[in-house]
């Protein structure tokens, strides 16, 4: 079958590999408690993520020069600190909060699933997160990547085609030799158009209990599952 050609698995990270929302809320709550700030921290986390796609749009369009996600996250954070009436933070405190995105926890099935997959495939990130963010996250969470790739080395944010294509080229592979593993139907659709194989990992609580998007596979992806160990099962790892 066509999946026999696959040599590398590329992974979306936020939502697919790590539970960013619970992690960010936990970081914000701990920070607030320590520093004596009060806010609706779950709303703050959702607001921060809501600014994620818009923050990349100007870069995607070419209206702003390339800059890594840490920079965009920090711009959004400063907007939200003001909106949530938090005052008096030092630059170091803002940096610490911004790097909460480096300290996200994986979904419980990921370390086992990735470790099994690594025995048979090259595992690489294909995230809009920047390299430092992904390396620090992997180091802390024990994510066994063979290569930390994605938007930063490609200098293009998903879902721009060059982000997928340049990352396949970095591994000297054709798109048909690559599979994208993601919890988001639109990410998989962009990759499949270019020739990538696709694995959908359903993460129905990525956005909390009231999530309305990506609750199911919206197309016939090559693999449909709800855990990383499920991907390993499907690929006989």
Interface residues with a second copy (CB under 8 A) are 70, 122, 124, 130-132, 135-136, 138-139, 146-149, 152-153, 170-173
Least distance in angstroms from the C-beta of 216 to a second copy = 34
Q: Pick the closer one to a second copy by CB: 70 or 222.
A: 70
CA distance 206 to 155: 26
3-state DSSP helix/strand/coil % of the chain, to nearest 5: 50, 15, 35
Q: Pick the closer one to a second copy by CB: 44 or 164.
A: 164
Q: Pick the closer one to a second copy by CB: 63 or 172.
A: 172
Residue 196, classed as helix, strand or coil, is coil
Least distance in angstroms from the C-beta of 89 to a second copy = 20
Question: How is residue 18 annotated by DSSP?
Answer: B
Least distance in angstroms from the C-beta of 117 to a second copy = 13
Least distance in angstroms from the C-beta of 43 to a second copy = 28
- The phi and psi torsions of 198 (rounded to 5 degrees) equal -140, 140
Contacts of 62 (CB under 8 A, 6+ apart): none
CA distance 102 to 137: 5
Q: Pick the closer one to a second copy by CB: 52 or 170.
A: 170
Least distance in angstroms from the C-beta of 40 to a second copy = 30
Query: Alpha carbon of 70 to those of 7, 81, 99, 171: distances in Å?
Result: 30, 16, 8, 25
Q: Pick the closer one to a second copy by CB: 123 or 160.
A: 123
Q: 15 burial class (0-12, 13-18, 19+ CB within 10 angstroms)?
A: buried
Q: Pick the closer one to a second copy by CB: 160 or 183.
A: 160
Q: 179 burial class (0-12, 13-18, 19+ CB within 10 angstroms)?
A: buried
Least distance in angstroms from the C-beta of 124 to a second copy = 8
């Amino acid at each position: 079958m066509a999946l026999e050609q696959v040599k590398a698995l590329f992974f979306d990270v936020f939502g697919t590999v790590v539970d960013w929302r619970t992690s960010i809320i936990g970081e914000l709550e701990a920070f607030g408690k320590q520093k004596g700030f009060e806010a609706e921290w779950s709303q703050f986390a959702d607001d921060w993520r809501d600014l994620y796609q818009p923050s990349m749009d100007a870069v995607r369009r070419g209206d702003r020069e390339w800059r890594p996600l840490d920079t965009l996250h920090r711009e959004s954070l400063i907007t939200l600190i003001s909106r949530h009436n938090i005052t008096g933070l030092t630059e170091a405190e803002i940096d610490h909060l911004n790097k909460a995105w480096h300290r996200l926890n994986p979904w419980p099935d990921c370390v086992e699933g990735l470790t099994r997959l690594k025995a048979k495939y090259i595992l690489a990130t294909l995230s809009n997160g920047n390299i430092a963010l992904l390396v620090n996250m992997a180091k802390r969470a024990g994510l066994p990547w063979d290569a930390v790739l994605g938007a930063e080395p490609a200098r293009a944010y998903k879902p721009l085609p060059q982000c997928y294509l340049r990352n396949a080229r970095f591994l000297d592979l054709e798109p048909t030799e690559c599979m994208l593993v993601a919890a988001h139907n639109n990410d998989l659709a962009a990759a499949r158009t270019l020739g990538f194989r696709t694995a959908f990992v359903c993460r129905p609580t990525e956005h909390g209990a009231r999530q309305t998007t990506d609750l199911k596979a919206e197309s016939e992806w090559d693999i449909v599952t709800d855990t990383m160990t499920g991907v390993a099962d499907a690929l006989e790892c």
